[in-house]
Amino acid sequence: MRSGDGLVYSSLQSLIKLQNQVSTLQLAKRKALARHLGQHHSVFKGRGMDFAESRPYQAGDDIRTIDWRVTARSGRVHTKVFQEEREKPVLLWIDMRTPMYFATRGRFKSVVAAEVASLLLWKTLEEGDRAGGILQRPDQALEFKPMRSRQSVLGFLRAIADASQAQLASLNYHDSGYLKDNWMRLRRVVESGSQVYIISDFRQANTAALQQLIMIHRLATVTLIAINDPLEEHLPEQGQLRMTDEKRSLWVNLKQKLWREQYHERYQTHRLTLQNLARQHRMPLVFLSTRDSSTERLRKLSRGAQ
């Protein structure tokens, strides 16, 4: 592994190795509405692999489905009803915009996003579902049609690794409608019954942008995975901080208590907005930090991405 791999960028090799951690990642099963066969339960009942319930026999029922135990116990003929197994397409929206190339502790937010995406893609493939999504770079969005193959996952991971290594800091991303437009595009490709993971720091996620997530959630199950760096939550109490956009520099006096408090309040407002959205619309929400260990990250994902 070259210096910086897994810290400031992700290589394809490091993302491939993450499939070894998939066995410890436990994601809750959800009912799916997709039309294709797969390994997840549909809300529709019919002849399938898994028993759902017994009910009184009705004319026309297949006699092969008679539940003889319940029939003997109740004195009335009962038949078994099965849940049909159906596929759950999984779509990832991965944020590789300029703000993601940042960290003061641990690894870049872009690296965390890449590694989380890799874990979810390998887990999806292991469970026999179709995996795809959109990789959002500052300059373009790359779409990957949901497919059930190792080759398609590798192609997606290669694009993610390339994006994490790209020098894109000079590109302009100051557009208040940016996330709104991105998530409108995602909404157009989401299939009914899909599982959708939004992996981002959610910067610039204004009301119009969040409304798009609500509309997506009406079609699919949406899980929010929010990544942040400790500096985005709290500023140090002493010293000076130099900020730059590679063209201009600004020195900030960290001794100004009021300024630090206002900075923290903005972060808290941002976090509360996401929490309220998740609670009101029953979207699972996972907060990850750039300083999380691999074990801590897996624990948070297993606990929250349900």
Predicted local distance difference test score (pLDDT) of residue 64: 81
Domain check: are 205 and 227 in the same one? Answer: yes
C-alpha pair distances (Å), 251 with each of 100, 236, 239, 247, 261 = 22, 14, 10, 14, 18
Tokens of 135: 């990789």
Give pLDDT, residue 170.
Answer: 47
Q: Are residues 24 and 48 in the same domain?
A: no
Q: Which two tokens stand for residue 257?
A: 């208590």
- Which of 86, 120, 149 delimits the end of a domain? 86
pLDDT of residue 178: 81
Q: Based on the fold, state whether residues 70 and 173 are members of the same structural domain.
A: no
Asked whether residue 3 is domain-assigned, the answer is no
**Domain assignment present for 5:** no
The segments of the chain whose pLDDT lies below 70 read 1-2, 28-52, 60, 82-87, 167-177, 244-246, 305-306
Q: What pLDDT is stored for residue 37 in this prediction?
A: 44
Is residue 274 located within the same domain as residue 149?
yes
Q: Does residue 7 fall inside a structural domain?
A: no
Looking at 70, 86, 102, the residue that finishes a domain is 86
What's the confidence (pLDDT) of residue 241? 78
1 located within any domain? no
Q: Which of 216, 165, 148, 163 is nearest to 186 (CA)?
A: 216
Query: 239 in helix, strand or coil?
Result: coil
Domain annotation covers residue 4? no
- pLDDT tens, 150-161? 999 999 999 999
Domain with residue 223: its CATH number is: 3.40.50
Say yes or no: 51 and 93 in one domain: no
Range of the structural domain that residue 56 is part of: 40-86
Please report whether residue 251 resides in a domain.
Answer: yes
Residue 222 and residue 82 share a domain: no
Please tell me whether residues 74 and 154 are part of one structural domain: no
> Residues 208, 237: one domain?
yes
Q: Are residues 141 and 267 in the same domain?
A: yes
- The domain boundary, picked from 67, 86, 105, lies at 86
Q: Would strands 240-244 and 249-253 be described as parallel, antiparallel, or unpaired?
A: antiparallel
Domains identified in the chain, total number? 2
Does 208 lie in the same domain as 131? yes
Are 186 and 269 contained in the same domain? yes
Q: Are residues 239 and 282 in the same domain?
A: yes
Q: Is residue 247 part of a domain?
A: yes
Give dist(CA 138, CA 181) in Å, integer: 13
CB atoms within 10 A of CB 281: 13
pLDDT (tens digit per residue) in 253-269: 778 888 888 889 999 99
In this prediction, residue 259 carries a pLDDT of 80
> pTM for the full model?
0.79
